[in-house]
Structure 1
Amino acid sequence: MFEYRQVLVRMRQGDSDRDIARSGLMGRKKLTAVRRIASERGWLGPEQPLPDDAEIAGVLGRTPHLPSTCVSTLEPFRDVVRGWFDAGVQGTTIFSALQRNHGYAGSYSAVRRFLLQLKSERGVRATTILTFAPAEAAQVDFGAGPVLTHESGIPLKTWIFVMTLCWSRHQYAEVVLDQPVETWLACHRRAFEWFGGCPSRVTIDNAKCAIIRHCMHSPEVQRSYAGLAEAYGFRIDPCPPHDPPKKGIVESGVKYVKKSFVPLREFRDLADANRQLREWIMQQAGVRDHGTTHEQPLTRFAIERPLLTRLPDVPPVLAVWSEVKVHTDGHVVYKKALYSVPFTLVGKQLWLKATDTVVQAFHRHELVATHPRLRKPGDRHTVRDHQPPEAQAWLEHDPQWCLARAKDIGPACHAVILAMFNNTVLENLRGAQGIVRLREKVGDARLNAACERALAFSSPQYRTIKTILAKGLESEPAAPSTTTAPADTYLSGGRFGRDLQSLLIH
Structure 2
Amino acid sequence: MAIPIFKRREIVRLLCMGGELSNRRISTLLGVSSGTINMIASQLPTLGMTWEQLKVLDDNAFLGAFIKKPKSAESNRPRPDCLLWHMEIERDKDVTLHLLWEEWHAEHPDGISYPQATRLYKQWLKKQRVSMRKVHHPGERSFVDFAGRKLPIYDRGGNPVRYAEVFVAALGASSYSFCLAVWSQTIADWILCNVKMLEFFGGVPRIITPDNLKSAVTKVTREGPHINPTYAEFAEYYDTAIVPARVRKPNDKGSAEVAVLIIQRWILAALRHRQFHSLEEANAEIQRLLAIFNNKEMKAYKLSRRERFEILDKPALKILPDTAYEYAAWRLKVRVGDNYHVLHEGHYYSVPYAIAHAFVDIRAGAKTIEIIHNGMRVATHMLSNMAGGYTTNPAHLSPNHLQYAEGSPDQLLQWAAAVGPATERVFQHHLLQNRHLANGIRAACAIQKLGRQYGADRLEEVCEYAARIHSMSHSSILSIFRSKADKRPSLNAKAEPPASHVNVRGSDYYKQTTGEEE
The Cα shift of 1:12 comes to 3.5
Output the amino acid matched with 1:226.
A
Match of residue 381 from structure 1: 391
Counterpart of 2:192 (choices 159, 166, 186) is 186
- Conservation of the 8 A alpha-carbon contact between 1:181 and 1:209: yes
Decide whether aligned partners of structure 1 residues 385 and 467 sit closer, same or farther in structure 2, where only a CA change above 3 A counts.
Answer: closer
The Cα shift of 1:300 comes to 1.9
Output the amino acid matched with 1:303.
I
Greater Cα shift, 304-313 or 290-299:
290-299
Gap regions ≥5 residues in structure 1: 18-31, 63-126, 422-427, 452-464, 470-506
Decide whether aligned partners of structure 1 residues 271 and 416 sit closer, same or farther in structure 2, where only a CA change above 3 A counts.
Answer: farther
| Structure 1 residue 148 corresponds to structure 2 residue 157 | no
- Conservation of the 8 A alpha-carbon contact between 2:206 and 2:240: yes
Output the amino acid matched with 1:302.
E
| Structure 1 residue 296 corresponds to structure 2 residue 301 | no
- Conservation of the 8 A alpha-carbon contact between 1:8 and 1:44: no
Deviations 1:294-340, CA, capped at 9 Å, x for gaps = 64322322223432323244236445544222122222234554321
| Structure 1 residue 287 corresponds to structure 2 residue 295 | yes
| Structure 1 residue 244 corresponds to structure 2 residue 250 | yes
| Structure 1 residue 48 corresponds to structure 2 residue 32 | no
Q: Distance in 1 between matches of 2:442 and 2:162?
A: 58
| Structure 1 residue 132 corresponds to structure 2 residue 149 | no
Output the amino acid matched with 1:191.
M
- Between the two structures, name the one with larger relative contact order (CA 8 Å, sep ≥ 6): 2
Greater Cα shift, 248-257 or 437-446:
437-446
Secondary structure of the residue aligned to 2:243 is strand
Match of residue 475 from structure 1: none
Match of residue 176 from structure 1: 182
Q: Distance in 2 between matches of 1:391 and 1:275?
A: 57
Q: What pairs up with 1:153-172 in 2 under 5 angstroms?
A: 153=159, 155-172=161-178
Q: Distance in 1 between matches of 2:28 and 2:309?
A: 63
Decide whether aligned partners of structure 1 residues 61 and 306 sit closer, same or farther in structure 2, where only a CA change above 3 A counts.
Answer: closer
Q: Distance in 1 between matches of 2:285 and 2:372?
A: 43
Match of residue 28 from structure 1: none
The Cα shift of 1:365 comes to 3.0
The Cα shift of 1:402 comes to 5.2
Output the amino acid matched with 2:42.
Q
Output the amino acid matched with 1:279.
R
The Cα shift of 1:44 comes to 8.0
The Cα shift of 1:130 comes to 1.9
Decide whether aligned partners of structure 1 residues 51 and 16 sit closer, same or farther in structure 2, where only a CA change above 3 A counts.
Answer: closer
Match of residue 205 from structure 1: 211
Identical columns (%): 20
Output the amino acid matched with 2:18.
G
Secondary structure of the residue aligned to 2:180 is strand
Query: Could you state the TM-score of these two structures normalised by the residue count of structure 1?
Result: 0.58
Match of residue 425 from structure 2: 408
Q: Distance in 2 between matches of 1:48 and 1:175?
A: 69
Match of residue 314 from structure 1: 322
Secondary structure of the residue aligned to 2:274 is coil
Decide whether aligned partners of structure 1 residues 3 and 257 sit closer, same or farther in structure 2, where only a CA change above 3 A counts.
Answer: farther
Q: Distance in 2 between matches of 1:398 and 1:178?
A: 50
Output the amino acid matched with 2:204.
C
Q: Distance in 1 between matches of 2:412 and 2:370?
A: 35
Decide whether aligned partners of structure 1 residues 356 and 414 sit closer, same or farther in structure 2, where only a CA change above 3 A counts.
Answer: closer
Match of residue 362 from structure 1: 372
Q: Distance in 2 between matches of 1:372 and 1:412?
A: 39
Match of residue 372 from structure 1: 382
Deviations 1:241-265, CA, capped at 9 Å, x for gaps = 2323421221232233344325222
Match of residue 225 from structure 2: 219
- Conservation of the 8 A alpha-carbon contact between 1:407 and 1:413: no
Between Structure 1 and Structure 2, how many residues are aligned? 365
The Cα shift of 1:278 comes to 1.8
Q: Distance in 1 between matches of 2:254 and 2:183?
A: 24
Q: Distance in 1 between matches of 2:18 and 2:174?
A: 62
Decide whether aligned partners of structure 1 residues 36 and 437 sit closer, same or farther in structure 2, where only a CA change above 3 A counts.
Answer: closer
- Conservation of the 8 A alpha-carbon contact between 2:229 and 2:330: yes
- Conservation of the 8 A alpha-carbon contact between 2:347 and 2:387: yes
Output the amino acid matched with 1:225.
Y
Match of residue 340 from structure 1: 350
Q: Distance in 1 between matches of 2:402 and 2:220?
A: 46
Q: What pairs up with 1:425-444 in 2 under 5 angstroms?
A: 431-437=439-445
Q: Distance in 2 between matches of 1:257 and 1:379?
A: 48
| Structure 1 residue 275 corresponds to structure 2 residue 279 | no
Secondary structure of the residue aligned to 1:311 is coil
Q: Distance in 1 between matches of 2:382 and 2:156?
A: 30
The Cα shift of 1:139 comes to 0.6
Deviations 1:48-87, CA, capped at 9 Å, x for gaps = 333999xx99xx989xxxxxxxxxxxxxxxxxxxxxxxxx
Secondary structure of the residue aligned to 1:276 is helix
- Conservation of the 8 A alpha-carbon contact between 2:139 and 2:206: yes
- Conservation of the 8 A alpha-carbon contact between 2:407 and 2:441: yes
Q: Distance in 1 between matches of 2:383 and 2:426?
A: 43
Decide whether aligned partners of structure 1 residues 411 and 232 sit closer, same or farther in structure 2, where only a CA change above 3 A counts.
Answer: closer
Decide whether aligned partners of structure 1 residues 39 and 220 sit closer, same or farther in structure 2, where only a CA change above 3 A counts.
Answer: closer
The Cα shift of 1:196 comes to 0.8
Deviations 1:360-408, CA, capped at 9 Å, x for gaps = 2232233311223446765653212212333333333324335676983
| Structure 1 residue 396 corresponds to structure 2 residue 414 | no
Output the amino acid matched with 1:306.
K
The Cα shift of 1:140 comes to 0.8
Output the amino acid matched with 1:174.
L
Output the amino acid matched with 1:409.
V
Q: Distance in 2 between matches of 1:230 and 1:51?
A: 73
Decide whether aligned partners of structure 1 residues 400 and 364 sit closer, same or farther in structure 2, where only a CA change above 3 A counts.
Answer: same
Q: Distance in 2 between matches of 1:394 and 1:267?
A: 60
